[in-house]
Structure 1
Amino acid sequence: MKTIAVFCGSSKGATEKYLEGATKLGKVLAERKLTLVYGGASVGTMGAVADSVLAAGGQVIGVMPSFLVEKEISHKNLTELIIVNSMHERKAKMTELADGFITLPGGPGTLEEFFEIYTWAQLGLHQKPCGLLNINHYYDSLVRLFDHMLKEQFLQERYRPLAMVDTEPNGLLDQFMAYKPPSVKVYVNENQT
């Protein structure tokens, strides 16, 4: 594992804990010599994680659609900034470059990125680990929702572990290192035996 994509927001959140958590993740990525791939912005938790990796001497690749270069204020000091045409191309490029995916607290866009990567893992489109860095217990409700989906049989047991969760970057990355992908999702007609 050499490259980690981090999904996060252009907002900083309601408490300093989110920026502190993003900064801590960046430092850990640099210490582990893992290249950061992220959305390319200089603001919010995106900016914090990138700044932290760079300050610790690490490598950072930003991937940003051209229409967001000004809106999200692209980071000017990255190792590399890749400009793409659309949000779809952004996710595809980040997926191509990454060996694993960490999701920091964020809004609907961050969750959409996480769920697409999670679904792609279920479908066998990639075999890379993905997890939630549960800073300030932000994702506790989502973790409960995954458990509810499992109980209500809208999620198969073998796919529940795809959403790894930890409150600390090292704990989540340790889970990534031990990751074994599940078998690919198969759809079976109820009439088949």
Structure 2
Amino acid sequence: MAKTSMRMSAEERRESVVRAAIVEFANHGYNGTSTAAIARRVGVSQPYLFRLFENKRALFEAAVRRCTEEIKQSFLQAAEGKHGEEARHAMAEVYFELIGDRSRLLMQLQMYVSAAAAEAAGDHEVGEAVRTLWTDLWDTVAAASGATPEEITEFFAYGMLINNLVAMGFPVDHRLWQGFGKDYLGCPVV
């Protein structure tokens, strides 16, 4: 009987590399992550990695794009058929599920830190890529919910605070969660 090959296509391998990059960048940041570590995680050589992605920046941008696109698509799906506060609440609920994946949460935090560090070092391309994706996410929430600019600002402000509280490991019964009210605390906080 012939043995079937389980070889991955280039697109499947590219997908594996992006997933591995998210984990590595999440844990070590842009500057602290080596492409060698990403290649090892996937089980490919560095030269192969660079056939898939031009350079480390392109790989980081692909990881950032994937992370924000997953959030965006989850928000759109959660808000479907809803409007206003109901849509925003549905997006908040799904967001708590998303950040249950610690790599996704930490990747978001690393996006912001890495963009700021790159800007400070004169590398404006990384910052511009992150800002463009962030603006698209902001606009998506605004369009999906029909919320005012003030309501969108509040939505993202709560999201950023939630990111930090979860990343630092504050339990849901800690007093710092008290200001969120029942709408947010009804969500499954990790």
- With normalisation by structure 1, the TM-score equals 0.29
- With normalisation by structure 2, the TM-score equals 0.30
- The structure carrying a bigger strand percent of its residues is 1
Give the structure with higher Rg (CA): 2
- The structure carrying a bigger helix percent of its residues is 2
